[in-house]
């Protein structure tokens, strides 16, 4: 068994940019950091034989990256027909307006402030472009406006920041809420059980070959962290920064600000449920 196969979700090794499934290609944005891992994954999705493509999360406002995405589409003999956003964080959405200008496409998102055009996105919506079918799956929690996109033909789901290809995501309190996030993870897990989803195409990091394993790991990890936070509070640590220092002592300190957002969401959840 390879090291990758032993990790939660069985992350795919090798180069991140390039084809991932029959219908998807990733163009990695040059914005690597502790928060964005290798950079933002900009996904190009198209039905084989179609001359139309959908782009999900154009990424940061980086002209070279945006033009690289367009070039990848054009070299495949296609044109960009539509732009979609998983959520509004800048590393996913900042370049959307410029990308729409370059491609003369509309931008669809859950948050009306991010849209370019009249159509938004919501539960039950199906994106049908050039024979492609993408189903909109609301997955709030990381942010209130987070969406995932189910690609049934490839047994895949594009998860934005709800599930990452490496490590775990944060709940961006106060916009993100832990209860919503747990519900979203369960919703995604149901796709692996009931709808044949086996592959996660994340917003950052490598493709995950074991979607169900990844979702089960995420749920177990959240339960473990929540129990740690509850124990920390019971021992007298009530200031979020103190909880972070205790519970996330094994995490790189550069990630502590993000961890504190998750801790605040966890404290809110525990308070709402009468557990502290």
What pLDDT shows up at residue 175? 96
212, pLDDT greater than 90: yes
Residue of higher predicted confidence among 121 and 15: 121
Confidence check: pLDDT of 1 > 60: no
Asked whether the beta carbons of 142 and 149 are under 8 A apart, the reply is no
**H helix count then E strand count, the chain:** 8, 11
Q: How far apart are the first and last CA of the chain?
A: 43
What number is the average pLDDT over the span 59-81? 98
Q: What is the pLDDT of residues 178-210, one digit of tens each?
A: 999 999 999 999 999 999 999 999 999 999 999
d(CA 126, CA 128): 6
Neighbours of 30 (CB within 10 A): 13
Band of pLDDT at residue 15, cut at 50, 70 and 90 = confident
DSSP H/E element including 193: helix 178-194
Does residue 87 carry a pLDDT above 60? yes
Supply the pLDDT for residue 6. Answer: 73
> What is the model's pLDDT at position 2?
43
Q: What is the pLDDT, as a whole number, of residue 230?
A: 95
Q: Which of 239, 40, 255 is nearest to 168 (CA)?
A: 255
Dihedral-angle region of residue 131 (phi above 0 means left; psi in -120 to 50 means alpha; beta otherwise)? left
Q: What pLDDT shows up at residue 3?
A: 60
3-state SS class at 130: coil
pLDDT band at 5 (very low <50, low <70, confident <90, very high): low
CA 176/CA 96 separation, integer angstroms: 22
Identify the CATH assignment for 18-273 out of 3.40.50.1780, 3.40.47.10, 3.40.50.2000, 3.60.15.10: 3.60.15.10
The proportion of the chain whose per-residue pLDDT surpasses 70, expressed as a percent, equals: 99
């Amino acid at each position: 068994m390879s090291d990758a196969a032993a990790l939660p979700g069985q992350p795919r090794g090798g180069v991140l940019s390039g084809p991932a499934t029959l219908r998807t290609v990733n163009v990695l944005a040059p914005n690597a950091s502790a928060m964005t891992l290798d950079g933002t994954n900009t996904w190009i999705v198209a039905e084989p034989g179609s001359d139309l493509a959908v782009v999900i999360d154009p990424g940061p406002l980086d002209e070279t990256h945006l033009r690289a995405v367009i070039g990848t589409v054009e070299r495949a003999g296609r044109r960009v027909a539509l732009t979609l956003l998983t959520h509004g964080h800048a590393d996913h959405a900042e370049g959307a307006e410029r990308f729409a200008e370059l491609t003369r496409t509309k931008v669809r998102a859950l948050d009306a402030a991010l849209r370019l055009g009249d159509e938004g996105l919501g539960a039950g919506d199906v994106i049908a472009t050039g024979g492609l079918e993408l189903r909109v799956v609301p997955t709030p929690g990381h942010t209130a406006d987070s969406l995932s996109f189910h690609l049934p033909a490839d047994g895949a789901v594009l998860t934005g920041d709800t599930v990452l290809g490496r490590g775990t995501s944060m709940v961006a309190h106060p916009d993100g809420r832990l209860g919503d996030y747990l519900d979203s993870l369960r919703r995604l897990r149901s796709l692996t059980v009931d709808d044949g989803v086996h592959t996660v195409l994340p917003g950052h990091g490598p493709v995950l070959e074991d979607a169900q394993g990844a979702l089960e790991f995420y749920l177990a990890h959240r339960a473990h962290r929540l129990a740690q936070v509850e124990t920390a509070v019971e021992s007298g640590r009530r200031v979020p920064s103190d909880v972070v220092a205790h519970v996330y002592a094994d995490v790189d300190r550069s990630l502590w600000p993000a961890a504190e957002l998750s801790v605040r969401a966890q404290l809110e959840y525990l308070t709402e449920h009468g557990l502290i």
